[in-house]
Amino acid sequence: MIMVTATITAKPGQRDAVIEKSKDLIESTRLEPGCISYQLYASTEDKNVLLMLEQWENPEVLESHMQTEHFKAFGVAIKDILAEELDINIYSADKI
């Protein structure tokens, strides 16, 4: 299994806009083959920070997800309301 964390930092006052623009992405992504979980969480320490926590069956389905129209559209939709670039980390969920 693959896990992805994507930290999304909105410009001040734009947090709700990011959440609104993520709704289609989340709904569409959850229907993709190989998507185990796709959740958006709000930071308790910084109201402008959100975390997308994703679980995928394997790297191939994650790569396929990143080529979807809803994924690309989300990137375009939030580009101007982010305070900084997305901080994306990918992990193998295999036992160490």
Whole-model pTM: value is 0.91
Residue for token pair 């069956």: 57
Domain boundaries, the chain: 2-92
pLDDT of residue 93: 84
pLDDT in tens, 18-49: 999 999 999 999 999 999 999 999 999 999 99
Query: Domain spanning 2-92 has what CATH number?
Result: 3.30.70.100
